[in-house]
Amino acid sequence: RFRFLMDQGVQRSTSELHVLQMDQAGDVESWPSKSDNPEQADEMLRAVAQFLANSADSAPVSMIAEQGISASGKISMQEAPAGYTYILLALPYDRAWASLGRALEKSTFEITDHDRSGGNYYVRFLGPNAQEEAGWMDWLWGSGEDHPMAGQMFLVTMTPQDELAVIIRLQLQDDSLSFDKRAEQDLLALIKSNIN
């Protein structure tokens, strides 16, 4: 037997599909917390993913994904009463940590060190020139110009808000340097767009 759970995705208008497999048949009401046969559950998930990929343009698949799923996502940028901006990510700590690490790399941050238990990534922002194509950041600083924060060292902190959400902050490692609100928000928006 299989149980399928469709959940709100991290980014807006996305969904996540979870599959749970149980060997026992009949009218069993309590499902295990993990699949009895993880390989069988993974195989079913791959089959469903392939079906969805093959049917991406069909209305029934789109309607399934939209049922009961809000368009808000599990991630947002917030402003603290103290005036700084942060990312609120509604994921458990372990998954949020892994997602943040991948997002930093996709956002052209070089991870120089990390402390998982403390929730800290020590990073250097490489800027848009580190990518093969600079992309959307060109319009902010003009093509050919370096990003004003390129080469700077940052501390990215991730602290639990509760069991199902974390707060992500970005701060310059050198407090003597200027880091205005626009630069903070631009870099956080870049990171946010790559978290999934």
Q: What is the residue-wise DSSP string for 90-136? A: -S-HHHHHHHHHHHHHHTTEEEEEEETTTTEEEEEE--GGGSSS-GG
- All structural domains of the chain with their residue ranges: 2-66, 75-193
Query: What distance in Å separates the CA atoms of residue 147 and residue 143, rounded to the nearest whole number?
Result: 10
Dihedral sign from CA coordinates of 123, 129, 132, 137:
positive
| Cβ count near 185 (within 10 Å) | 16
Strands 75-79 and 15-21: unpaired
For residue 104, which of 149, 10, 44, 168 has the smallest C-alpha distance? 168
For residue 15, what is the enclosing H or E element?
strand 15-21
**Which two structure tokens, joined as six digits, stand for 149?**
């924060």
| Global confidence as pTM | 0.65
pLDDT of residue 68: 47
- For the chain, 196 residues long, the average pLDDT of each consecutive 10-residue run is 70 69 72 81 78 62 49 81 93 94 94 96 85 50 62 95 94 86 91 91
CB < 8 Å & 24+ apart, contacts of 103-106? 103/191, 103/192, 103/194, 103/195, 103/196, 104/156, 104/191, 104/194, 106/194
Query: What distance in Å separates the CA atoms of residue 47 and residue 29, rounded to the nearest whole number?
Result: 25
- Looking at domain 75-193, which of 3.40.50.300, 3.40.980.10, 3.30.310.170, 3.40.50.450 is its CATH number? 3.30.310.170
Dihedral sign from CA coordinates of 193, 194, 195, 196:
positive
pLDDT of residue 69: 47
